[in-house]
Amino acid sequence: MRRFGTLSFGHYGPLGHGRELTAGDSMRQAIDLAQGMDDLGVNGISFRVHHFARQQSAPMPLLAAIAATTERIEMGTGVIDMRYENPLYLAEEAASVDLISGGRLALGVSRGSPETVVRGYEAFGYRDDADPRGADVARRHFDTFLRAIDGEGMADRDPNSPFGGGSGRQRIEPHSPGLRSRVWWGAGTRETAAWAGRQGVNLMSSTLLTEADGREFDLLQAEQLDAFRAAWHEAGHSGTPRTSVSRSVFPITTAEDEMYFGRSADQGGVGYIDGFRSTFGKTYAGAPDVLVEQLQQDAAVMSADTLTLTIPSQLGVDFNLRIVEAFATHVAPELGWKPNTEDTAEGRTLDETRSTR
């Protein structure tokens, strides 16, 4: 593990005792949190994306605000549901944020996770009768998105246009060179991870896998990372792909931490999600030295180059900064982490990206 960041689920709404976190509060706090984490040298901040829910649903304005008010931290998503996306519009937005940030976008996309509505992407105008979960819609949109950010011509020029005219095919604008190297696919199985490797994009693995064979979660996930890297190299892609895993990790350093997280640690387990028997990861909570020992034994954490911590965003900026600072101070250095002031995020160069196509 060389880098770490956070993943916010971005929930807003009633907090109890007459208090409420509004959507505006949630987004403004996210910007403040990103600025504080940038000062700490944390490598990334990312947000879950859910439509028809009190969470982030249109993350690009938020990411643009973070890009404009920070210097080094990556900002991204975990993940954008490609079933809902117009791929060319997303390509324009992603390029814009990437350019504003100076190449710091870490765009996580996927088929998406279980929803609060039935086939909500159809309400957005996208339909696929062949797959009841819309996976074909997501991959079709993703293919178009990749071609667009690669600079492929997506529409015929009009030779009679009063705005310049011309012939041939026109790419979308703006175009951000190297954006392809900063795209991640969120995978929940070894099969999907291998598919992502063949596509030549980075791998984002979550706190659960829609697989279960009796083995511990971290071993299954480490095998998923291995399958991704093998598929990447077998496909002939150059450079080194990036990998990330997510964990709930809470260093307990104060009485308040103990009150909130003292009983949070669990050993994961097996359950059902989205109709699949799935394996869930552990939640780690304890004194920093205990966390170091436990995470060093987590095969996937030590295999991935990036660890993403899920954070309780409803508890506010100060509380979450304290969690992140405790991890950065007492735990992360023992796992191999370097702050972004010393170790910038590595990605494939534009030439490397072009060589994969």
Over residues 151-193, the pLDDT tens digits come to: 999 999 999 998 877 899 999 999 999 999 999 999 888 899 9
Q: Give pLDDT tens digits for 266-288.
A: 765 444 445 545 555 678 999 99
> Which helix (H) or strand (E) segment is 99 a member of?
helix 87-101
48-51 long-range contacts (CB < 8 A, ≥24 apart) are 48/7, 48/8, 48/9, 48/10, 48/77, 48/78, 48/79, 49/77, 49/78, 49/79, 49/80, 49/81, 50/81, 50/113, 50/115, 50/116, 51/81, 51/84, 51/115, 51/117, 51/120, 51/124
> What's the pLDDT at 349?
34
> What's the pLDDT at 272?
43
pTM tops 0.85? yes
The answer to whether residues 347 and 49 touch, using CB atoms and an 8 Å cutoff, is no
Q: How confident is the model at residue 354 (pLDDT cuts 50, 70, 90)?
A: very low
Residue 68 confidence (pLDDT) above 90:
yes
> Which helix (H) or strand (E) segment is 186 a member of?
strand 183-187
Cα 206 to Cα 245: distance, rounded to the nearest angstrom: 6
> How many C-beta neighbours within 10 Å does residue 351 have?
11
Structure tokens at 9: 């689920």
